[in-house]
Structure 1
Amino acid sequence: MTITVSSVQALLPSQAPSGAEGPRLVIVEAQPLMREGIAARINAGLPSARLVYVGGSLHAALEVVMATGCDSAIIGTRCEGPITEVVAASAFAMHGIPSVVLVERPSVQGMEAALIAGAAGYIANDCAGDEFIRAVETVINGGSWAPIVEMYRTGLKSTSVQLSAQERRALVLYASGMTQDAVGRRMGIKPCTVKHYLDRVREKYAQAGLAPRTKLELHALARKEGLLP
């Protein structure tokens, strides 16, 4: 049974049709026309899918996920409030939910940040309908979808400062807006270990003539290094 956008917005999780089958999806997109378009593509390409949440609030989407479960999340180009796609992808990943990130202009840096945060798919929001559906199906089935992966492998700029994989991941997550506690939960480590990684990042850049002290300075540094879009 296909659930339309209007019916999804009116339904509480417990009101979903009992006979509905197929993957359970959430759509997080703050722009009404955009999220209606995403939902329409899902309805057309995956008619068995259950849209258990369609809206702009990450918090509301996570409440639905915890109450009803979910097989995949689709993160649009805008979320309500100061929430980036990186933070949203990380939040869903913490609940074991793979996500597909839709972006206006795909980039190597944006893809790396999204994948490090836990997204399983990264794709342009104006991609062809069949490509969008293939991406969603691939992620639902446990795979990953990043069509610019070759660009990522060959185009990522090298830096004079060599960070370990964990230092790099901690920097990206923290600079994207997460707290040290949240970064620790996402990485499966203690907050004090996150602080240690961030201190090491600061030390390495200080040795290179930079001195990022504040979170804002780390964010600017991560963008300059191509780690954040």
Structure 2
Amino acid sequence: MVTVTKSSEETERPASAVRVSIVDDHESVRLGLKAACIEAGFAVIATAASVPALVAEMAGKECDVVVLDLSLGDGESVTENVKGVQAIGAAVLIHSIADRVALVREALAAGAAGVIPKSSSTKTVMAAVETVAHGEVLNNLEWATAIDADSDFAKAQLGRREREILHLYASGFPLKLAAQQLGIGYSTAREYLDRIRTKYVEVGRPAPTKVDLLRRAVEDGILPGLDPDGIDGR
């Protein structure tokens, strides 16, 4: 029987509190994370043993980030679970055993904002929750390890100018300003950007939005982890 619980923090939280939900099929983990989140001043909206149960409970409610276990034993794939969480408008923070590299890679490819090992300290996990809740990409060792250990992970073969455009544009520069920085015309910069997106599609890593391009730039070592606040998504 799936158990879903709500915290009274939902109605008592300050307007600025981070809103968190938790999905893990171990009750002790759910309870521990819930207590830690409340102690950190976050509002725990719901906890559940599966993503479908959480989605049902979250109907009409808002949440900033869902802390999601990778292996729930519910028959759903990692991709299905990540997409299911994203469908309710929440970012995804993977909370899992660090050696499940293939599953971590799948989660990141599906759009998870980052991964934090279950062996991490409570303070580190709470810091990761806050980072992801505020729209930032959690670029850490686990992310890098998942990419480096995956033989199927293909980097787009970008030229020097393409990397320069991606570096500036994904950093938050409007394309016109990025072009000016490089001493090229706007139309030329647009061509480079279109070519970059095409190359990422060709290696199975599409990047239709500016935030997606930021993710690709981080994954490929063109940028460190950045705060995408203010990125317009065009």
Q: TM-score, normalised by structure 1?
A: 0.58
8 Å Cα contact 1:29-1:56 kept in structure 2: yes
Asked if the contact 1:75–1:85 (Cα under 8 Å) also holds between the matched residues in 2, the reply is no
Counterparts of 1:151 and 1:17, CA distance in 2: 36
> Partner of 1:93 in structure 2?
86
Matching residue within 147, 155, 160 for 2:141? 147
Q: Which runs of 5+ in 1 are unaligned?
A: 1-5, 171-186, 189-229
Distance 1:96 1:147, change over 3 A: farther
Q: Read off the aligned partner of 1:18 and give its amino acid letter.
A: T
Distance (Å, rounded) in 2 between the aligned partners of 1:123 and 1:105: 8
Q: Does 1:34 align with 2:29?
A: yes
Identity of paired residues, percent?
18
Aligned to 1:9, the other structure's residue is in SS state coil
* TM-score of the aligned structures, taking structure 2 as reference length: 0.57
Aligned residues: 161
| 2:97 matches 1:104 | yes
Q: CA RMSD in A?
A: 3.4
Displacement after TM superposition at 1:73 (Å): 0.4
What is the aligned counterpart of 2:123 among 130, 134, 148? Answer: 130
The aligned amino acid for 1:52 is I
Q: How does 1:156-195 map to 2 (within 5 A)?
A: 156-157=150-151, 165-166=200-201, 169=204
CA distance in 2, matches of 1:93, 1:17: 20
Structure 1 position 158, deviation (Å): 5.5
Compute the displacement of 1:142 (Å).
0.4
Partner AA of 1:9 in structure 2: T
In the aligned structure 1, how far is the partner of 2:131 from the partner of 2:53? Answer: 25
Are the structure 2 counterparts of residues 158 and 101 from structure 1 closer, same or farther at C-alpha, using a change threshold of 3 Å? closer
Q: Aligned runs of 1:46-57 on 2, under 5 Å?
A: 46-47=40-41, 49-57=42-50
Deviation at 1:26, TM superposition (A): 1.0
Distance 1:10 1:40, change over 3 A: closer
